[in-house]
Each structure stands twice: as C-alpha cells, then as structure tokens.
Structure 1
C-alpha cells in the first residue's frame, strides 16, 4: 500500500471514528430563571427544538433517555402544593415556560425568559424537525381517536415524519399484563420521541416513573396539544394569545371542567404576587417580612 493510500485510509478511519462518537450533551444552562421555585430554561421556541434535537441524538448515541416539562401556571401551583413533583422537576432535562405570567414574572428575577414556549406550538415544530431527521414519534394518551387524528395530521403536514405508534389507553390503572404489553409496544416501536397526553400532573408523574425503563430518547407531556392538532379544540385568536388571555378562551370553551382549575390558578398567582411584593419591599428596607423561598 502506498503512502498516499495509507494516509487516505487513516483519514477515512478518523472520520468514521468521529461519526461514531456519542454526542456530547451540554448541561442545562446555569442561567436558568427561577420563577416560583421552578427552574426554567431561558429558550425561545426555535432554541427549544434545537435543544430537544440534541437530547434525542444524545439519547440515541448513549442509550440515556430524558424528558421535557412544558410548565404553565398550573404546574407551578401543583409544584408548590405537591412535594412529589420536586424530584420530577429536578430530574428533567429541560423545563420550558408555557405561560405568560411565568415569562412576565421572570423579569423580576434578573434572568429573563425570552418568550413563552407553548406546547401547542412546540408539537408542530418538533414534528417538522423529526420529519427532517426521519425520526419516529409515539403518540400516547388523549381520548379514543384523537391521538390518531393528531398523528395523521402531523404526518400529512411534515414529510419524513414516522408515526411509531398511536394508542389511547383507558382512563384507569392498567393491569400488570396490560402494562407489560404497552411497554413492549413502546419499546419495540423504534420511536425517538414519546408524546404523552395524560393531563397534568398525571403525565409528568407517569413519564418520571417510566422513562428510564422504556428507553425512548425523549419523552414530553403535552397536555391538550393532541386536541388542538386534531381539531377537537381550538386555540384562542392571536390577539388573545398576545395579551396573555388564552386561558380565558379555554375556560370559556369548557367552563365546567376548566373553571375550577383556572380559579385555583388565579388564587395561587395572587398569593405568589403578594409574596413577591413583600420580598421586594423588604429589599428596599421598608418592611420586616422574611421569606426564604427561592424565586
């Protein structure tokens, strides 16, 4: 073999070795914005999709699964009320701010969040990115038929997207046999992304309990996003969204179910704003309130 051929062979081997090296996933930003004790990652929608792509690739290369939380005001309230969620929050690979109150409140922390990253928008951009990469998505949850309609719509809109599986399990605890069968379907699907629509916080708890065993690179609880994509529910007009009033539109569309939830969210928000004001006044030396909570 000539010296030129040897050099060429060594160069090719080096390139192949580089390609085979696992993706190095940078740690979550140290500049997270703490809002009401929840550490949010300061990312835009496009930046979030880029980060999730890195997490998927890292999971594929190393066999290390992770998950994403799209946290709205309701999640912040539940996080405050249920200590069980603290570990779920700490273990996740990415936390996105799916709520205008969170973004606005971040301006007081010194580490501003650039924008709201709504799960109902993220699902489209993520489907587009998966289509470009030829990756598969497994759709789990929602009412019967809704997940399938959502999957069909995204597959039609984004060429290359692979539907790895679709199922809407019953609204009850599965039997051991049913759970084993479901596990097998998900694990053998070849999916790179598992989208879960079990509601909040059931979806986040389910993912935390199962993501390591299932081994899907990235799992995300996306709540009502299946309904929006399938056309079962409609999002608020753009002007309502820009004014931060999408919650009102949703409540008006289903007041019996969502009214109590948003009333509880409003009470939580008022309480936290009062605490924020007390802390601010204390910093100014105008009061003696003490509060050791972070954010």
Structure 2
C-alpha cells in the first residue's frame, strides 16, 4: 500500500463492528452487505471497498501499518475464517462469517436483478476468463464486463495507466481483485479514486475456486469451519507457513480476549 491515500466513498455503511485485538471486524451479515452494495451501485457512488479478513490478514494488520489502515478504513472488514469467529467469542462477540467465495456467488446471483456490472482482475493466466465463463453458466444473465490477468511482476506506470483506462472503459460496478493477500489490498488502496467503480473487493483464492483451478472444500467441511484443513491437505507447502502466522494471531487474540473479559468481570463484582 505504501503511502497511497485511501479515498473515502460518499457514504460509508453504518453497521456494528467488533474490535478484536486492536483491529475491527464487521458484525454485518451477508444480506446487509449485499443490500449496501446494491444501494451504493444504484446511487452511483464510488470508492467503497471490502476486505475478506481471516486470521492471517489480522496478523499482518497488527504488524504492517498500511495493512492495518486498510482494515480500519474499508467499508466492510468481513470475517472469512473460523479463527476470527473463535477469537470473537473470546472477546464477547458473535461474529458472522461472510465467506469470500460465498459473497462472490451471492453477488453474482442477487446482482442480476439490477444488472450489476462485474470485472474480474487477477488470478493466473486464463483463470479470470474461466471463472467468468463458469459463473455465467451458473447464473444466466450475469453481466461480466471484463477480465484481466496482470503480469507477475511490477507494472510500469504506463502499463498501470492502460489497465486503469481499460477497467474504467468497461464501466464496472464491482471490481473483484484476486492478487493474493497483501498484494490485492495494496492494489485496491493505490487505485481508489482512479478506478471509477462503486466497489472493489479483495478475494484472494476465490478466483482459483470458482475457476476450478483448485478444489473448493466440500460443503460439509465448510459448514464445520474446516476449510483450512482441506486447504492444508491440498496445498501443504503453501499453507504451512501462512497457517503458522494465523495461529500466532489467533492464540494472542484469544488469550487477550479471555484476559479482558476476566478483568471486566472482576471489576463488575
């Protein structure tokens, strides 16, 4: 994110949030999120942005100032993992999960009513195209106005300007960004105010799941909050280190929450 200034939208949604170990997490349920997305799109607002926040994202938010700023200033920092749910309970909150892959599916489905215009930015070569193809088959009438896979290297200023123009020319209502944690948040922050869209959302591995590039955890495992285990089995080398960071934050947040609740209870006796 560097020194990029985060531009605020016309009107940010008002909704309850939990403060977990110094970072906010939304308590909004998915129906409210979708309703706010629709409201902003219908009003022609720009500059709204969403974070799908898991324990790894919270870990980096505590250690990287720009990422913490992103989590604090986004319209919705949505709970995307059972670790955040568990930490929330220790702090006295019931945090609803608004899982990234589910949010994308629901937005594609519900957005057809008002013809939301979707742009998919990110993924490996051909991933965004395949994701768009599959989603259009699943949701007839889905309006995908563009896809783009950027090169796996820093863009030149000229290339970046061309990409901004390409996206703006497509006039999307939502830009779904799948560049991976930290990189996608930096990209969104750097392009707020430059890309004229109502919403940008960092969706990480969603592109791989909905394109079929990587298997999505079966529904029973997702319902039990065991997606992390399935991912670890499917991608052990990639997930091992990342889950270590997640575990560090989860343990710290849970212990801090238990201590805080115990302290408050003792004060109220």
Query: TM > 0.5 between the two?
Result: yes
5 Å-filtered alignment, 1:24-103, equals: 25=11, 27-29=13-15, 31-58=16-43, 60=44, 62=45, 64-103=46-85
For residues 220-235 of structure 1, the aligned pairs below 5 Å read: 220-235=201-216
Partner of 1:137: helix, strand, or coil? Answer: strand
Inter-partner Cα distance in structure 2 for 1:40 and 1:73: 11
Unaligned regions of 5+ residues in structure 2, if any?
Answer: 1-9
What secondary structure, in the 3-state scheme, does the structure 2 residue paired with 1:139 have? strand
Question: Structure 1: how far apart are the matches of 2:138 and 2:225?
Answer: 28
SS at match of 1:80: helix
Secondary structure of the residue aligned to 2:217 is coil
The count of corresponding residues between Structure 1 and Structure 2 is 258
What SS does structure 2 have at the residue aligned with 1:164?
strand
1:167 equivalent in alignment to 2:148: yes
Quote the Cα distance in structure 2 between the aligned partners of 1:254 and 1:221.
21
CA distance 1:69–1:116, change in 2 (3 Å): same
Q: In the TM superposition, what is the alpha-carbon distance from 1:87 to its structure 2 partner?
A: 2.1
Q: Is the 8 A contact 2:13 2:36 kept in 1?
A: no
Q: Cα–Cα, structure 1 residues 166 and 126, in superposed 2: closer, same or farther, change >3 Å?
A: same
Q: Which residue of 2 aligns with 1:184?
A: 165
Counterparts of residues 224-263 of structure 1 (less than 5 Å):
224-263=205-244
* Higher RCO (CA-CA < 8 Å; seq separation 6+): 2
Identify if the C-alpha distance between structure 1 residues 283 and 213 changes in structure 2 by more than 3 Å, giving closer, same or farther.
same
In structure 1, the gaps of 5 or more residues are 1-23, 287-295
Q: Deviations over 1:83-126 (max 9, x none)?
A: 1123212321122111122223323444432x211001111111
Distance 1:57 1:37, change over 3 A: farther
Counterparts of 1:275 and 1:106, CA distance in 2:
11
Maintained 8 Å contact 1:28/1:41: no
Q: Does 1:133 align with 2:114?
A: yes
| 1:263-282 matches, cutoff 5 A | 263-282=244-263
The alpha carbon displacement at 1:263 in A equals: 1.7
| Offset, 1:226 | 1.0
